[in-house]
């Protein structure tokens, strides 16, 4: 064991989550590198650290610290050095020198016990003197708080948030009701609070614990797409979580209602429980939909004549349902257009756009994701934005602590610039891929649409529902209260595609002929996972690029599952090893159990509206700049800079974005992706493993969604019986959503 006592010259690196730091410390003219976890430390402080001397392959000799103690500076020079290091705001090197010259070794005592005397030093007012004293006291209190919180396993970053929230009150909060943390602080969910509570010694049947656990169980459900839960199911879920009998929880539901956290309603002879925010979102969404649903008295014959004049000379003709869609769009404030692939949704949208352009109306186009918006732009020849961009989202997202395992993020400090006070300036708004829109986004959109603006919603109701809570498109259609045009005719050109024909067979639950020779729909029978993987690799790397005239990285493997032998995580490990193995010329960085390597195919997994990107010319000079990388965007890792701790990504159209290593949680490998992640995207060819998995995942609408993502070719590899079992499995995961009920309540 070795001991080093000296002054912190520089903090070279610090992880704010866990306090792991790399420090340089001077001791008697010698300089040492210290590595380890330090609760709270500043440059200039004197430290006594004990640990083992280790040899790092790159950085040389270091002291791996096992224990340490902050020491008071031992001489006036050390005090001066500490004060002048920037540790105390407002004191620079010159002022530190004057303070120490005046008070010498007594400096810290004066600061703590007689701070008013600091004003005797030139350049320090009485107010500044008190401020300096407060900072010294706060640093001492903060260090004590950090040490106190650390014993309960709380990370540095979180401890700092707790200290800033409560100050000296944190001791009573932690010891009396740690569940308060879940209500007050981002990053603290029920599970963290419960862990702290068990270490503090809070009883498992504590009222605080039961209330917090109930609310957490309800918010967990929103992460699974529900806007409410039946009371019985909620109590059952909470009982499992808390190990408390359901009967003991009922009285706490009333308390949570009184606190306005919950809304309890009657439905079909049972009680249902909403988090308040989702109940009022559904209620207000229903009201706004009702307000938008106005009807214009425009004669059908007039619309028909204008439409005939507009489409004269077109190489195609609209069918009866497409014409009806145009008429309904003209005569109603709200319209839903739905239909499967090949039924002419794009042609219908384009005709509606042309009709309104002829009337010199202002039209806005949008879709829920960046990739879907891009597809819409390509299909219409007009600019389409993401819905978030349309609504002008500003601010920074932070993780929702209450919903820590639900994959949700709360938009703390974020808001839409477009709302009821600053609505969208448009006569017509068209939203594509509506099946992906959840209740929160629908509510935000409707707030920005004024009565009199036409809102046209387009989507395939048979696709997977939104990742977020609610089932907006299906609920609106099933309410029967709004104009809906369902396109059913498969057009001749589309009918020549087995992808489209088979997609409709899948939707109808019919037998799909897997032995048929086809130009765009192929099934390869393989029984064993290793054989399935092998064949998928051959298809992606060797067979399909030339066949569909697309580079390897544009061909996408999609799987129903995240876990398992053929889940996305395992496939990505195998495919990375095969397609992009390590090499001396490839830099890499491991983060969160994933290795990111130069040349890797990677996907953005959350919307980042602030991420800056640029497009460079062949000389490396930026020619275009912008902001925004979106959930589902796929790119290639071009560089990993270990020194600067950055990773450079290249997305489509040559957009390059730089990620700090801390932002790597926004990325994951994308050699294989889950079918859920493919929503709103389209690929030249898709390859799908077909192998037994959980019945709740192996569903008809899942395989339907997967097949409809392909433009030119679908290749399925696996067991035909499993494929047919998916087609036969019409059971969708039950999703509790009340928008339909709220619509029917209002529109009686």
Of 524, 540, 522, nearest to 532 by C-alpha is 524
Reduced to 3 states (helix: H, G, I; strand: E, B; else coil), residue 719 is coil
In whole angstroms, give the CA distance from residue 624 to residue 18.
39
Q: What pLDDT score was predicted for residue 74?
A: 62
Q: Which residue has the higher pLDDT, 90 or 372?
A: 372
CA distances from 449 to 2, 170, 295, 327, 695 (A): 68, 45, 16, 21, 41
C-beta of residue 218 within 8 angstroms of C-beta of residue 234: yes
Q: Which residue has the higher pLDDT, 706 or 243?
A: 706
In whole angstroms, give the CA distance from residue 267 to residue 265.
7
Residue 144 backbone dihedrals phi, psi, to 5 degrees: -65, -40
C-beta of residue 350 within 8 angstroms of C-beta of residue 662: no
Q: What pLDDT score was predicted for residue 717?
A: 97
Of 668, 737, 676, nearest to 705 by C-alpha is 676
pLDDT one-digit tens code per residue, 300-321? 888 888 888 888 877 778 889 9
Mean pLDDT for the stretch of residues 257-261: 89
Model confidence band, residue 274 (pLDDT cutoffs 50, 70, 90): very high
Mean pLDDT for the stretch of residues 380-406: 69
Q: What pLDDT score was predicted for residue 596?
A: 95
Residues 6+ apart with CB under 8 A from 647: 589, 596, 637, 639, 640, 641, 658, 659, 661, 664, 667
Q: What pLDDT score was predicted for residue 669?
A: 96
C-beta of residue 613 within 8 angstroms of C-beta of residue 626: yes
In whole angstroms, give the CA distance from residue 7 to residue 324.
79
Model confidence band, residue 354 (pLDDT cutoffs 50, 70, 90): very high
CA atoms within 13 A on the CB side of 647: 28
Considering the chain, what percentage of its residues have pLDDT values greater than 70? 93
| Pick from 246-255, 417-426, 472-481, 581-590: least confident | 246-255
Residues 6+ apart with CB under 8 A from 530: none
> Quick one: tokens of 188?
């603290």
Q: Which residues of 312-323 are buried (b: 16+ CB within 10 A; e: fewer)?
A: eeeeeebbebbb
If you ran DSSP here, which 8-state letter would residue 543 be given?
Answer: I
Beta bridge partners of 295: 332
Average pLDDT over the chain, rounded to an integer: 86
Statement: residue 399 has pLDDT above 60: no
Q: Which helix (H) or strand (E) holds 330?
A: helix 320-331
> Quick one: tokens of 71?
């020491």
Q: What pLDDT score was predicted for residue 406?
A: 37
In whole angstroms, give the CA distance from residue 712 to residue 682.
10
Q: Which residue has the higher pLDDT, 36 or 418?
A: 418
Scan for tokens 């459900």, then name that residue. Answer: 221
Model confidence band, residue 47 (pLDDT cutoffs 50, 70, 90): confident
Catalogue the E-assigned strands of 316-408.
334-339, 363-367, 384-386, 393-394, 398-399
> Quick one: tokens of 209?
């614990």
> Quick one: tokens of 315?
């190489």
Statement: residue 107 has pLDDT above 90: no
Q: Which residue has the higher pLDDT, 155 or 31?
A: 31
Scan for tokens 């007012």, then name that residue. Answer: 125
Of 485, 486, 483, 484, nearest to 295 by C-alpha is 483
pLDDT one-digit tens code per residue, 15-43? 766 677 888 888 777 888 998 888 667 77
Model confidence band, residue 201 (pLDDT cutoffs 50, 70, 90): confident
C-beta of residue 717 within 8 angstroms of C-beta of residue 524: yes
Rounded to two decimals, the pTM is: 0.74
Residues 6+ apart with CB under 8 A from 504: 340, 341, 342, 490
In whole angstroms, give the CA distance from residue 284 to residue 290.
10
> Quick one: tokens of 102?
């005046």
pLDDT one-digit tens code per residue, 517-545? 899 999 999 999 999 999 999 999 999 99
Q: What pLDDT score was predicted for residue 407?
A: 34
In whole angstroms, give the CA distance from residue 675 to residue 714.
13
Considering the chain, what percentage of its residues have pLDDT values greater than 90? 45
Statement: residue 715 has pLDDT above 50: yes
Model confidence band, residue 748 (pLDDT cutoffs 50, 70, 90): low
In whole angstroms, give the CA distance from residue 110 to residue 326.
81
Residues 6+ apart with CB under 8 A from 476: 289, 336, 457, 482, 739, 740, 743
How many residues does the structure list for the chain? 748
C-beta of residue 83 within 8 angstroms of C-beta of residue 76: no
Q: What pLDDT score was predicted for residue 157?
A: 65
Q: What pLDDT score was predicted for residue 397?
A: 45
CB-CB neighbours of 65 under 10 Å: 21
Mean pLDDT for the stretch of residues 689-711: 92
Mean pLDDT for the stretch of residues 545-572: 94
pLDDT one-digit tens code per residue, 451-480? 999 999 999 988 888 888 999 999 999 999
pLDDT one-digit tens code per residue, 55-94? 876 678 888 888 787 776 666 777 777 777 666 777 877 8
Q: Which residue has the higher pLDDT, 398 or 37?
A: 37
Reduced to 3 states (helix: H, G, I; strand: E, B; else coil), residue 496 is coil
């Amino acid at each position: 064991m070795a001991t080093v006592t000296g002054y912190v010259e520089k903090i070279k690196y610090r992880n704010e989550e866990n306090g792991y730091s790399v420090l340089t410390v001077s001791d008697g003219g010698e300089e040492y590198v210290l590595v380890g976890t330090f609760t709270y430390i500043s440059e200039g402080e004197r430290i006594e650290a004990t640990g083992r001397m280790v040899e790092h392959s790159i950085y040389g000799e270091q002291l791996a610290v096992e224990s340490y103690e902050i020491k008071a500076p031992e001489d006036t020079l050390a005090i001066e050095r500490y004060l002048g290091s920037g540790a105390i705001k407002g004191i620079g090197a010159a002022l530190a020198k004057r303070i120490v010259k005046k008070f010498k070794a007594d400096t810290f005592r004066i600061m703590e016990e007689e701070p008013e005397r600091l004003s005797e030093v030139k350049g320090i007012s009485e107010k500044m003197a008190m401020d300096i004293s407060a900072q010294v006291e706060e640093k001492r209190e903060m260090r004590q708080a950090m040490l106190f919180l650390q014993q309960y396993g709380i990370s540095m970053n979180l401890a700092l948030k707790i200290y800033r929230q409560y100050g000296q009150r944190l001791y009573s909060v932690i010891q009396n009701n740690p569940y308060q943390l879940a209500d007050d602080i981002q990053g603290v969910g029920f599970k963290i609070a419960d862990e702290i509570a068990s270490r503090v010694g809070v009883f498992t049947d504590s009222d605080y614990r039961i209330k917090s656990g109930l609310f957490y169980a309800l918010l967990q459900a929103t992460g699974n797409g529900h806007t409410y839960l039946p009371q019985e199911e909620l109590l059952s879920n909470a009982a499992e979580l808390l190990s408390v009998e359901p009967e003991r929880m009922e009285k706490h539901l009333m308390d949570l209602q009184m606190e306005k956290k919950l809304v309890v309603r009657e439905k079909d002879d049972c009680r249902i429980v909403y988090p308040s925010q989702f109940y009022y979102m559904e209620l207000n969404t229903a009201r706004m939909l009702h307000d938008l649903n106005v009807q214009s008295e425009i004669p059908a014959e007039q619309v028909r004549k204008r439409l005939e004049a507009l489409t004269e000379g077109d190489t195609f003709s609209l069918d009866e349902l497409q014409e009806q869609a145009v008429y309904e769009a003209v005569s109603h404030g709200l319209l839903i257009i739905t239909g499967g692939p090949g039924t002419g949704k794009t042609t219908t949208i384009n005709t509606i756009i042309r009709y309104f352009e002829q009337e010199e109306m202002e039209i806005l186009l949008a879709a829920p994701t960046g990739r879907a918006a891009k597809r819409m732009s390509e299909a219409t020849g007009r600019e389409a934005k993401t819905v978030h961009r349309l609504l002008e989202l500003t601010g920074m997202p932070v993780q929702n602590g209450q919903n820590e395992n639900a994959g949700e993020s709360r938009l703390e400090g974020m808001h839409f610039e477009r709302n009821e006070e600053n609505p969208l300036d448009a006569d017509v708004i068209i939203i594509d891929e509506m099946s992906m829109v959840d209740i929160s986004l629908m509510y935000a959109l409707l707030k920005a649409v004024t009565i009199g603006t036409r809102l046209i919603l387009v989507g395939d109701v048979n696709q997977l529902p939104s990742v977020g809570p609610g089932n907006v498109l299906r609920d609106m259609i099933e309410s029967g209260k709004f104009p809906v045009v369902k396109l059913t005719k498969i057009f001749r050109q589309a009918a020549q595609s087995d992808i489209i024909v088979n997609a409709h067979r899948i939707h109808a639950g019919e037998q799909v002929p897997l032995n048929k020779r086809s130009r765009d729909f192929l099934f390869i029978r393989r029984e064993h996972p290793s054989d399935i993987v092998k064949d998928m690799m051959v298809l992606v790397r060797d067979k399909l690029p030339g066949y569909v005239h697309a580079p390897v990285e544009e061909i996408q493997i999609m799987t129903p599952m995240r876990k398992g032998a053929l889940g996305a995580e395992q496939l990505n490990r195998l495919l990375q090893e095969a397609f992009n193995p390590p090499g001396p010329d490839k830099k890499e960085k491991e983060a969160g159990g994933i290795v990111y390597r130069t040349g890797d195919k990677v996907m953005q997994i959350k919307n980042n509206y602030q991420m800056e990107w640029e497009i460079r010319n062949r000389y490396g000079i930026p020619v275009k700049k912008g902001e925004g990388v979106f959930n589902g965007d796929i790119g290639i890792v071009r560089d990993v800079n270990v020194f600067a701790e950055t990773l450079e990504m290249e997305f489509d159209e040559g957009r390059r974005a730089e990620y700090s290593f801390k932002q790597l949680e926004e990325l994951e490998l994308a050699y294989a992706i889950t079918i859920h992640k493919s929503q709103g995207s389209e690929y030249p060819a898709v390859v799908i493993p077909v192998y037994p998995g959980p019945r709740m995942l192996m569903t008809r609408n899942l395989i339907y969604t997967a097949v409809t993502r392909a433009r030119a070719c679908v290749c399925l590899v696996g067991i035909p019986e499993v494929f047919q079992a998916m087609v036969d499995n019409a059971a969708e995961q039950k999703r509790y959503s009340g928008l339909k009920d709220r619509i029917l309540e209002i529109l009686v």
